[in-house]
Amino acid sequence: MAFTPKISVVSHRDRKASNKPDATITPVALTKKQKRLLKDKNRKRILENVTKGGVCVEIGVWRGKFSKQILDIVNPLHLALIDPWQHFGDADQSDAFSGRTKEIQFEEIYQDVCKDFADQITNGQVSIMRELSNTAIAQFEDGTIDFAYVDGDHSYDGVRADLENLFPKLRHDGIIAFDDYHRFGWWGDGVLRAIHEFIGQHPSQCRVLMVEGAQIALSKLGPLPNPEA
């Protein structure tokens, strides 16, 4: 059944009460379920632009919900699922995703993901890399990834590092997409700033392909056409 969000306009007073600086760009109040459905729809739109049968990576897998969508829509030749499934006790990370989950829960979640994708792991379509993104990405050859989805460490440094490490690994016309392209979470402006800075520093090597709600997808451009040719 098609999903049609019930739209209710947020009043000026509600906007003030929400105390969120970006409230003006999301003038709709959605229930949790509606938000989830909308996110699924937005991510599906991005996946529909990804070349089928290529090499995909997902950084930050959690329970593998989006990994299933990648398999269903893109049917990649290979999908690498990258996540340490590990609790980081760092005080700075206390509000972060990994800081809120206990070590034992991570172990259970990791085991469940392995079970859920057991068939694809056996036939070689999926690999699980239980490690941080920086060491995992380093294992890919340059120019070999068709699609990367970044949803791991949302801090400025984390997103920046993932982008810098992944970009050379993408094929020309490859897509790198990010979740949580907004300023509502513990990461503040980290996701936005890291992406915007990268685009500014590589103005002719990438372009914004789409922004769908809190999803942003960039595509890697090939060499500039030779005007003499």
**Residue numbers of the site for ligand SAM (CB under 6 A)?**
59-62, 65-66, 82-85, 97-98, 132-133, 151-153, 158
**CB 22 within 8 Å of CB 182:** yes
Convert 30-55 to b/e letters by CB count within 10 Å (16 or more is b).
Answer: eeeebeeebbeebbeebbeebeeebb
Per the structure block, which two tokens stand in for 187? Answer: 């990461």
Smallest gap, in angstroms, from Cβ of residue 123 to ligand SAM?
Answer: 22
Smallest gap, in angstroms, from Cβ of residue 126 to ligand SAM?
Answer: 14
Amino acid letter, residue 121: I
Convert 57-68 to b/e letters by CB count within 10 Å (16 or more is b).
Answer: bbbbbbebebbe
Smallest gap, in angstroms, from Cβ of residue 7 to ligand SAM?
Answer: 25
Residue with Cβ nearer ligand SAM (16 or 68): 68
Smallest gap, in angstroms, from Cβ of residue 129 to ligand SAM?
Answer: 9
For the chain, first and last CA: distance in Å?
51
Residue with Cβ nearer ligand SAM (10 or 109): 109
Residue with Cβ nearer ligand SAM (187 or 220): 187
Residue with Cβ nearer ligand SAM (146 or 180): 180
Instruction: Output the residue with the shortest Cβ distance to ligand SAM.
Output: 60
**How many CA atoms, within 13 angstroms, populate the side-chain half-sphere of residue 12?**
0
**CB 150 within 8 Å of CB 177:** yes
Amino acid letter, residue 195: I
Smallest gap, in angstroms, from Cβ of residue 205 to ligand SAM?
Answer: 24
Residue with Cβ nearer ligand SAM (63 or 172): 63
